[in-house]
Structures are given as C-alpha cells and as structure tokens.
Chain A
Amino acid sequence: MQAASEPIQELKLVGICKRFPGILACDNVSLEVKRGEVLALVGENGAGKSTLMNILAGLYQPDSGTISLNGEAVHFKTPNAAFAHGIGMVHQNFMLVPNLTVVENVALGSKNLHRFMNLDLNGARRRIKEISEHHELPVNPDAYIWQLSVGEQQRVELVKTLCFGAQLLILDEPTSALTPQETDDLLARLKRMTAELSIIFISHKLNEVKALSDRVTILRHGAVVFNGTTADHTPAELAALMTGHEVTLPRNESHDQSTEVILSVKALRARGDRGNLALDGLDLELRAGEVLGLAGVSGNGQRELADVLAGLRPVESGTIHFQGKNLTNHSPRRMIEAGLGYIPEDRHHEGIVPSFSVQDNLVLKDYASPKFSFSCFLKLGEIERNAESLRECFDIRCSSTSVATGSLSGGNIQKVILAREIARCPKALVAVYPTRGVDMGAQEFIHTQLLARRKEGVGVLLISEELEEIMNLSDRIAVIYKGRILKVLPAAIATREQLGLLMAGVVNE
C-alpha cells in the first residue's frame, strides 16, 4: 500500500561513519542482510548500534559511507525515503504519539491516506485489520496509545511499521520491557515472519540472539569487530567479543540470611500520574545486609513505589517504617536524613543537576551540612576536596571536577550518583534501574559496589527490568504485578520461568 517496493533481496552498508560532538559513533561500519535472514546486531550500550540503525531508517545522515539495496546505491534523506524502500524500524522507545489513537498513529505516517482537507481514517483502519490478522497481532485500532500497556504498545508499534510496508524490519532492543514468556512469544512470531521479510535484530541479550538470528555482527566503540554465523559460536564467545575482554559480572554467592528488618512497607496504596491506583496494597520488607530484587514488567508500580520511598509521592493509605520509625508521607529531606539512599531512575534529570559541576553534584544532598557549610556560607574548599577524594575512590572519569556533570558519559554520571549516595553511609539503598544504558565496565563496578554495601549491612532494594541482574545480585526476589507484591522467593531457588510467570500475573499454587 505504501509505495509498494520490490522485495529486498540484499541490503549492504559499506564504510558508514557518523560523528557526534566529541564522539565517533560509527567508525567505518559495513554489514549486509539477505532476504529472509535475521541479522543480529550486537554490542554494548553506546557501541553505536542505534545510531547505525537510525542512519538506515533515514533519521540521521551518515558523514560518509554508502547504503545499497539490491545492488543499487540509495540515499535516505528522510524517514520517508527509507519507508519507500521498504525499511521499517521499531524503536526501543516506542514512536507512538500518546494522545492519538492507534489508527491516527498509523494514518500519521501513511502519506497515501492524506487527502487535502480530509484524512482517510477508515483506510487506515482497514489496513490495520489486514496486517494484524495476517501476522496474528491483535490490536484495538480505536484505543488511545496512553491507555495501552507496554506489551500492547509494542504490538501496535510492530503493526504500524508493517502497515508502512516494511520489507526489512529493524528491531531495537524489542524485548527489554517484556516478560520471559512474552519474549519467547515475540521471538517465535518474528521467526515466522522471516518467510516474508528480513530482520535486523538489535540486542545485548545473547541468548535471544542465539535463539533467533542466522548471522551476527558485533560492534564495539562504533566499529565492527566480528561478523559470522550465529550457530558457530557460544554466547560466552560472543560476550567476550562484545566487551573486548572477559567480563564476569560479580554474583551474590553467599546466601546467609539476616533477619533484622530495616524497611517495612505495609498495605501501601498510592496513585500514579494519571490518577490510577498504581500501588494497591503493597507489602514489602527489606532486611539489613541483603539485596532484595524487585522484578516485574515496567509500569506495574515500580516507579510509584520508588517515588513513595523517596518521599515524593503522597501515600493514600498504608505505612512505611524505616528502622522502626514511621516515615509515611514524610518529605524527601526527612527520608534522606533518616538514612535512606536513593539512585533514581532517570539519572540525567533526577540524579544530578546537569549544569552543575561534579563538585556541586557530589554535595547535592549535603550542601547545608556542617561539613560543607558554615552558617549559611558554603565551604568551597571542603566541597572541592570532597570531590577530589570521591573522584579517586569511585574512578569518576572527568577532565576536572569543575566541569558540568551533564557532559559526562552515562556510566560516569551513574558513578557520581553512586559516590554521593554511598559517601553518605546510608542504612538502606534504593537503586532504580541502576545499570540501564551503561557499558559493561560501569555495570561491573556498580554491581560490585552494591554487593559491598550489602556486606557492610546495608539493605539494598534493587529495582530492575533485567532479570539476569536481579538473579545475579539478590538474596531474595519479590515480583511486583499491578501494584502488589505477588510473591517473594529466595533467589537460590528462583528460576527464570517461574519469575516470568509471576511477572505476567500467573500464580500457580
């Protein structure tokens, strides 16, 4: 329907370079995909995968290099040009306009439904029906995007891309918000689709790569370091290639249980941003010297729970006790003073003030303490000394501690936050998606730090969407579903399948 193009027999990228200020995101990258093939594009966060694919989708322009389709050189100046050649991308952050309906979202990108002063919504509806029946992807065309769950949005995103006539599907980390079962389901569906189209599958989860792809291309620091057939290599080999060295993420091996409860949440109810009851009678106990992993599909109340614990979201009913004191509905300042450390979800906007220097950010919670101030005056010398010593301890890589923190890389920003929180000697630490989007080196460092705090008797509440991370680090794992804790399992006996079912809300007795 959308500019019916001939099937893509072969897509070739040769010598693609793309530079962003201060970073070479793609360094002479070449790869190719043939019809009916699944190519996995693998690499760490920041390796340049998304940039490369955005170039292919017409969103960025390469500085040099060529793209050729069926042996013919093409140049995608806009996303439209890419669609017209049958290239469709499913972005990691879904590209759906939340205050439009599904059908409006599809109509937005389908230029052939645009008539002067009239929009052919029925045409779009028919097209959606056709595609969703053909590929067994049920969607409700008249729902608003903001009403849909993450899983449903993913389906809509897929249907939308297919409606635009995609012959080659680029999927950017499509499984990051899904339960293990949903992931298996998606992989099976994609496998079936290869009968008709080619797929480029971007992921850093190597077991999925192994399950789905025919060939794999590995990027490191913007350059291709490996190109080969998936079947010939083990996940461990691929992992080593991806990071450039053997990285063994630390594991929580000891399972000696302490019994001293330091944070206890009872029958907690709180509302989300849309006024819905995001936490609906949640009970949770965090013990001293343990890592409690909170697993769940995002959007089930993790964000709201974290906000409540930070003192930023009002509690409707229920209680929060911290070290025996009732801290329900106390201000963020009181929570901080009580000894609760916090690593927020959005590190760029919640964890640091980007325009402040590293020095200033390291005292964001303590600028008014006697250590860093005298009466109402800041002790600038002390603040600088503090920054220098933390920079050393936490291996924060910056040219000087007076540069703006926002200019650092994601991993280093996370280290700044971690340094600040740990230097405050918290009794309990809430870490929300602490390793999202950071490279392996930083990830390893953060994990080691969390386990070290555990050893010192700090209770760590780890909220993450990476099951592997949770299973590696936790003593106990709690599964959150629709604002409640469905079950708490000792990590030693929890299995992936069991957790996956719980994350989908299935409790088998």
Chain B
Amino acid sequence: MNSGGMIYNILSLGVPFSVALLVAALGENFNQRAGIFNLGCEGIMSMGAFLGFLPAFFIKTGPLAAHVNLLGFVFAMAAGALLGLLFALVTVTFRASQGIAGIGLQMFGWGIAGTLSRHFVGGVTGVEGVPAWAIPGLAKIPFLGGVLFNHNPVVYIAFLMVPTSWYLLFRTPWGLKVRAVGTYPRAADTMGINVNRVRYQALMLGGAMAGFAGAYLSLCQAKMFADDIVAGRGFIAVALVYFGRWNPVGILGGALLFSLAQTLQLSIQVGGIKFPYEFAVMLPYVLVIVVLAFTRKARMRGPTELGKPYNREMRV
C-alpha cells in the first residue's frame, strides 16, 4: 500500500471514529463549565447505545420502520437527559461528592443497559444502522471529499455541534450563565442567576449529548449492541475536556487526535507489522494518561469551582 493511500484510509476512517468521543466530550464540557464533574458519562453512553439500538432491533416492519434510527436517537437523548437529571439531583440538590457519584452513575447506567439487553435482546445481534450519505458535490472533491464528506449524516451533525456549542457557550446569555456558575457561583447568585437551575440544565444537555454519542456507537459505528460497547469512551471524553481546556475547538482537536491514533494503529496492523492485539487495544487508554500528564491546568480560563457543590446559605 502506498503512503498516500494509507493516509487517506486513516483519515477517512478516523473522522467518523471521532464522533462518539467528540459529542460526549462537548456535552461533558457543558457539565464542567457549569462546575459539575460528570464521570457518569460512560454509563449514560451505555444507556444511549442500548436505547438507540432498541427501536431498530424491534421494529422491522410497519410505518415506523423507516424512522427507527431517528427514534433511536430520540430515545437515547431522552434517557441521557433523564440520567443527567438524576445526577443533578444527587450532586446539585443533595450536594454529594461528584467523583464517587459519577462512578455510581456509571455502574448504574452500564448495569441497566446490560440487564435490559440480556432480557430483551439476548445475544449480540446486528442492525442495519444509519447508511452513509455523500454530500452532493463536496464528496467529489479529490481526497478531502472522501475524508470529510462521504459519511453517514450523523457525522455532519456532530461536527456542526462544535461551532454550535462554541456559540452557545460564548455568545448567548445561557452560556454566560453556565460559565459564571462554574467559576464563582456565589457571584452569579448575587446577580440573580439561579445557580442550581443552570446546573440542572447543563447536566441535562450534557446527558442528552452523551446519550446521542452512545446511540452513534450502536447505530452508526458498530451497528450492533454489546454491553461493553462503550469501552471507556465516556471516561476518555471526560479527559478530552481537560485536554481541550474547556473549549469546543480544543475538544474537537483532541477527539480527532485520539481517533486518528486509533486508526493509525489499526492500519499498522493491517500493514503487516505484528504486535499483540491486546497492546493495540490498550493504546488509547495509555494515550489518555499521557495526555493528562502533559496537560497543565489553564488557571484563569477554566471553571475554577469544578467539583464543588454550591450552598447559598453556607456562610463564608
């Protein structure tokens, strides 16, 4: 294989691979910007992957059959928002320790998805999933067309979420409130911002996005459901938010870096260089640790109150 072809392959495979990480991390970014560290992302993605898959698995005929994928994404996002709501209840209203609560939510979401899938689905079954849709005209551009414009439509939607998230965060009143409550909730409170309400909203939006990311895995990437389908992507997404310094553009860069590294490793294997399969699977996890080790905290930019519950009546 020539190197040009290999680069093309890596890029055109890597771009759709990045979507689940990207969307989940963009959602987690809203959580963290609002001051909540949601490690339950992994569990929400599991739920999303399962519920996204469910309509496509059950509805094979009838009028709804044409819309099973849309239905799946809606279910996944609704479940994600609900789990976000549960997490908000625990961490915002009950002010529980976020790190441990996140692990609880992860086990909860993962457990439910597994339990329900064992019961309703049984073994591993494939679905048709979302077909690719080349953007007319753009897909014909040599090289770039295949890399960027010849994927399933969800990929395009996901990439549009980057500027949308940026705009939402930096140019709208809601985004301003989110950034304020994550940095100095008491100040926001004195200015008439309902800190808890903003945090609830951010967690529900983040949850819905994590659910979306999960549904992408089962409907667009794997086209099947297994209970370990998320395989740590939720945790990687959390790490990407640090890496991207709480900025959607940085997060996009991180998500692409990760997925490209993964496809690079796959193509090296295909290319005949042999090393144990298990080590190849390890690579992204090792990469997370390396990336975290070399990401310094951007002190004045990020949400400085990350992880701390807010209690108005607590006297300072």
Contacts and interface: CB of A to CB of B under 8 A. Distances in A.
B166 interface: no
A146 B300 contact: yes
Given A79-B192, A108-B191, A100 B173 contact: no
A114 B315 CA distance: 30
Given A20-B315, A118-B172, A59 B184 contact: no
Given A97-B180, A104-B176, A119-B176, A59 B192 contact: no
Interface in B185-204: 186-194
Interface string B158-181: 000000000100011101110110
A97 B183 contact: yes
A60 interface: yes
B304 interface: yes
A108 B299 contact: no
Contacts of A134: none
B173 A99 contact: no
Contacts of B300: 98-99, 144, 146, 274
A470 to B, nearest CB: 25
Contacts of A78: 192, 194
B190 A79 contact: yes
B190 to A, nearest CB: 4
B173 A115 contact: yes
Interface stretch (A87-95, A295-303, A423-431): A87-95
A119 B301 contact: no
A57 interface: yes
A114 B192 contact: no
Given A100-B179, A119-B173, A59 B189 contact: yes
Interface residues of A, number: 36
A80 interface: yes
Contacts of A111: 192
B278 interface: no
Interface string B12-23: 000000000000
A108 B182 CA distance: 13
A165 to B, nearest CB: 12
Given A59-B312, A119-B171, A274-B300, A95 B194 contact: no
A79 B187 contact: no
A88 to B, nearest CB: 10
Contacts of A164: 191
A146 B193 CA distance: 21
Interface string A96-128: 111110001101110101110111000000000
A100 B176 contact: yes
B180 A98 contact: no
Nearest to B193: A108
A96 B192 contact: no
Chain B interface residue bracket vs A: 20 to 34
Contacts of A109: 191-193
B165 to A, nearest CB: 13
B316 interface: yes
Contacts of B228: none
Given A60-B313, A115-B173, A118-B172, A95 B190 contact: yes
Contacts of A80: 192
Nearest to A144: B300
Nearest to B315: A20
A97 B179 contact: yes
Contacts of A94: 187
A57 B191 CA distance: 10
A273 B313 contact: no
Contacts of A98: 183-184, 300, 304
A79 B315 contact: no
Contact of A95 (B184, B299, B302, B312): B184
A372 interface: no
B108 to A, nearest CB: 29
Interface in A397-443: none
Contact of A114 (B167, B173, B301, B302): B173
A96 B187 CA distance: 6
Nearest to A51: B315
Contact of A89 (B190, B304, B316): B190
A83 interface: yes
A377 B216 CA distance: 57
A144 B299 CA distance: 13
Q: Closest 8 interchain pairs by CB?
A: A109-B191, A114-B173, A80-B192, A95-B187, A95-B190, A79-B192, A97-B184, A97-B180
Given A79-B191, A96-B187, A117-B172, 11 more contacts: A79-B189, A83-B192, A93-B316, A94-B187, A95-B186, A97-B179, A104-B176, A108-B176, A108-B177, A115-B173, A119-B171
Interface of B: 167, 171-173, 175-177, 179-180, 183-184, 186-194, 299-302, 304, 312-313, 315-316
16 contacts: A60-B312, A79-B190, A79-B192, A83-B192, A97-B180, A97-B183, A97-B184, A97-B188, A99-B300, A100-B176, A100-B180, A104-B176, A118-B173, A119-B171, A164-B191, A274-B299
